[in-house]
Chains A and B, each alone.
Chain A
Amino acid sequence: GNSVTQMEGPVTLSEEAFLTINCTYTATGYPSLFWYVQYPGEGLQLLLKATKADDKGSNKGFEATYRKETTSFHLEKGSVQVSDSAVYFCALTYSGAGSYQLTFGKGTKLSVIP
């Protein structure tokens, strides 16, 4: 079945540091890939997405590239801010068997300190 594996947290960085959160997936065919962010006390917000191989999703300085050869969708940001502190979820959706449900990773908590 489909699955998503993302790096265990928590991750603590200083402001302006470079961020990478690893995400790999297992799926048959061609899933669409997503990163969601959950700020404290809130629901999930779509951060970025990519729907086919070699696509790069980007938003708010975050980027992730759909790598089919390595089945990865790592999240990166060149310079994090305190306001980026949140939990980040990698997810995929696949239309097999008529279902478009999202499969989530366990989430990675990021804390950015001044």
Chain B
Amino acid sequence: ETGVTQTPRHLVMGMTNKKSLKCEQHLGHNAMYWYKQSAKKPLELMFVYSLEERVENNSVPSRFSPECPNSSHLFLHLHTLQPEDSALYLCASSQDRQSYGYTFGSGTRLTVV
């Protein structure tokens, strides 16, 4: 079992749908992150949660809504997305937001049609 598990691995949704991405970490970390990876663009940090409190939100549109019910789980709720939101969404975790590197999940490949 990997340290950070993301589900689903692949998701196709229409622009009027509502869906959620799930991330679970089994490492005892206390910080979790959502990143967006689009083709030919740098990785974009979307949200940071530290001790279950959202500490950073990098100007992400409101159609993306994160939720962190506890230190092991992180969700990204999606609604009324646009085709340009199609990307690989990566979850990561770390301990105390320190410079020891993050552990990433395998990502959810999202396609908006």
Give A contacts to B, CB under 8 Å: 31-32, 34, 36, 41-46, 49, 51, 89, 93, 95, 99-102, 104-107
Contact = CB atoms under 8 A, between A and B. Distances in A.
Given A43-B90, A89-B43, A102 B104 contact: no
Interface residues of B, number: 24
A35 B45 CA distance: 17
Given A32-B99, A43-B90, A44-B90, A101 B56 contact: yes
Contacts, number: 48
Pick the most buried of A43, A93, A102: most chain B CB atoms within 10 A of its CB. Answer: A43
Contact of B98 (A45, A100, A105, A107): A100
B56 A46 contact: no
A46 B103 contact: yes
A72 B96 CA distance: 26
Contacts of A49: 100-101
Nearest to B101: A46
Closest 3 CB pairs of A and B: A32-B99, A43-B104, A100-B97
B48 interface: yes
Interface of B: 4, 6, 33, 40-43, 45, 48, 56, 90, 92, 94, 97-107
A66 to B, nearest CB: 12
A72 B26 CA distance: 34
A104 B43 contact: yes
8 contacts: A31-B99, A42-B107, A44-B90, A44-B92, A46-B101, A99-B97, A104-B43, A106-B42
Contacts of A44: 90, 92, 102, 104
Nearest to A48: B101
Contacts of B98: 100
A43 B93 CA distance: 12
A36 B104 CA distance: 10
A105 B42 contact: yes
Contacts of A105: 42
A93 to B, nearest CB: 5
A104 B104 CA distance: 14
A43 B105 contact: yes
